[in-house]
Amino acid sequence: MKVDRTIALTLILVACMCLITPIDGFGQTDTSAPLTLQQVIDMAVQANISIKSSREETNAAVATKKQSRTGFFPTFNATYQYTRNDEDTARKSLFTNLDEYSFSASVTQPLFAGFSIVNRYEMAGYGVEIAQANEQFVRQNVVLQARTVYFTLLKAEKLLKVAQETEKQIEAQKNVAKNFYEVGMSPLNDLLQAQVELANATQNVILAQNDLEKARSDLNILLRRPINTPVEIEDMLDFEPFGLVLENCLQSAEENRVEIKIANMEIVLAEKDVKLAKKDYYPSINLIGSYYQLGEEWDVEDDTLWDIRAVASWDFWEWGRTSYGVKEKSSRLSQAALNKDKILEDISAEVKQAYLRTQAAERYIATVETSIQQAEENFRINEERYKEQVATATDVLIAQTLLSRTMTNYYSALYEYKIAKATLYKAMGQELME
């Protein structure tokens, strides 16, 4: 009976443990899953210092706009003053006391300031838009950098696999040459040639490993992680031809490039700056209301008075200071327009260069794809012929070199195409690809 109770208690405990502990990974997050391209982009955007700095610049621009808006509202001022006069002065004057206390308050409402207040406010609004556009520009650069680092890492992984596979195949060829030499079926030269090629293949593996470690470090640096953090990313072997023509790319760039939007807003800012420089051509008009209290005691309750004034002031002669300022701002406006023309030219050249690079990589992929099977078949035939002593070791090594070069060229072209296409989309002003 006691044994039955022990067994029942054990079964209950096991059932509870099964309910608490996930079975077969249910309810657990797989932290070792390879990172996707989108995850790398999101992590890079979140970690990038330049993006954070550009966001702070946007916040500063917003604060500046709010600050400039206060120019439309009245300002308030209050003053409390105590004066101790000389006794002789107080006796000789009918209006002077030994102790004088005064309190004054005023409110000033600007009525007209040569359009400077509204121009400053509108300029601050464009400043916010420029800051937001710069933030978008920085983000696009980070996204392109993330894509470039990602595809460079994939290329490094593939080239290392090609180098390792080549090393294995040449080592197998070396073993065959060694066996043939030992039984007198092939000359020593075949064995020596295979050994030399094996040493070269081993060196290529070492170089490929270094390139891979550098690519992993670049990704960790981009994500602001410890440089030796293990890295595993999801492979992308898909290939889709780029379907747009150059004219479509140029049109997209003209419509979407952030630099063009910024250049347009800088022209508008320069125009506002010209108007702001002309403010001294006009008088400024303020409405001022004041309230006073005077007395011989600290509570200043003896005399009370107030007034309301409309004050107009105009500096009508400053030896050409205003006109020279207007000329300077007009030159800045012309400079902004010329800067936009330069930006348009540079963007057109950038788009065309990226387009040609993409087209070249696309055509190269199509060419190399057809030669992969031919190179594999050529290597297989020469390997079999050598085993049958119909071909030489040199034929096999040449076929192996051809196969290795073909695979290297294919993966290099594939990921170069992906990088080129990402660069082209960025040149077109688009962050998202197909």
Query: Among 337, 343, 424, 408, which Cα is nearest to 157's?
Result: 408
More confident residue, 196 or 150: 150
What pLDDT is recorded for position 267?
95
**Whether the predicted pLDDT of 12 surpasses 80:** no
The confidence band for 94, taking pLDDT boundaries of 50, 70 and 90, is low
Q: Which long-range contacts (C-beta less than 8 Å, at least 24 apart) are formed by 294-298? A: 294/100, 294/101, 294/102, 295/100, 295/101, 295/102, 296/97, 296/98, 296/99, 296/100, 296/101, 297/99, 297/101, 298/82, 298/101
pLDDT average, residue stretch 83-99: 69
Residue 83 gets the label, from left (phi > 0), alpha (psi -120 to 50) or beta, of beta
Entry pTM: 0.80
Close Cβ partners of 66 (under 8 Å, ≥ 6 residues apart): none
Query: Percentage of the chain with pLDDT > 70?
Result: 90
Lowest mean pLDDT: which of 22-36, 96-110, 154-168, 393-407? 22-36
What pLDDT is recorded for position 90?
58
Q: How far apart are CA 205 and CA 402, in angstroms?
A: 17
**Backbone angles phi and psi of 369, in degrees to 5:** -55, -40
What pLDDT is recorded for position 95?
60
Number of Cβ within a 10 Å radius of residue 88: 8
What pLDDT is recorded for position 11?
41
DSSP states of 321-367:
HHHHHHHHHHHHHHHHHHHHHHHHHHHHHHHHHHHHHHHHHHHHHHH
> For the segment 128-176, what is each residue's pLDDT rounded down to a tens digit?
999 999 999 999 999 999 999 999 999 999 999 999 988 888 888 788 7
Lowest mean pLDDT: which of 87-96, 170-179, 414-423? 87-96
Lowest mean pLDDT: which of 14-23, 117-126, 233-242? 14-23
Lowest mean pLDDT: which of 15-24, 27-36, 202-211, 244-253? 15-24
> For the segment 234-251, what is each residue's pLDDT rounded down to a tens digit?
998 888 888 889 999 999
What pLDDT is recorded for position 5?
46
The confidence band for 376, taking pLDDT boundaries of 50, 70 and 90, is confident
Domains (ranges, CATH) in the chain? 37-427 (1.20.1600.10)
What pLDDT is recorded for position 169?
84
pLDDT average, residue stretch 385-406: 80
What pLDDT is recorded for position 32?
65
Q: How far apart are CA 104 and CA 84, in angstroms?
A: 18
What pLDDT is recorded for position 89?
63
**Whether the predicted pLDDT of 259 surpasses 90:** yes
The confidence band for 183, taking pLDDT boundaries of 50, 70 and 90, is confident
> For the segment 272-327, what is each residue's pLDDT rounded down to a tens digit?
999 999 888 889 999 999 998 888 888 877 788 999 999 999 888 888 888 999 99
Lowest mean pLDDT: which of 184-188, 380-384, 404-408? 184-188
Query: Among 289, 292, 311, which Cα is nearest to 303's?
Result: 292
**Whether the predicted pLDDT of 371 surpasses 50:** yes
Query: Percentage of the chain with pLDDT > 90?
Result: 56
Lowest mean pLDDT: which of 100-104, 337-341, 389-393? 389-393
Number of Cβ within a 10 Å radius of residue 378: 18
**Whether the predicted pLDDT of 3 surpasses 50:** no
Question: How confident is the prediction for the chain on average, in pLDDT?
Answer: 85
pLDDT average, residue stretch 84-105: 74
**Whether the predicted pLDDT of 330 surpasses 90:** yes
What pLDDT is recorded for position 136?
93
What pLDDT is recorded for position 345?
96
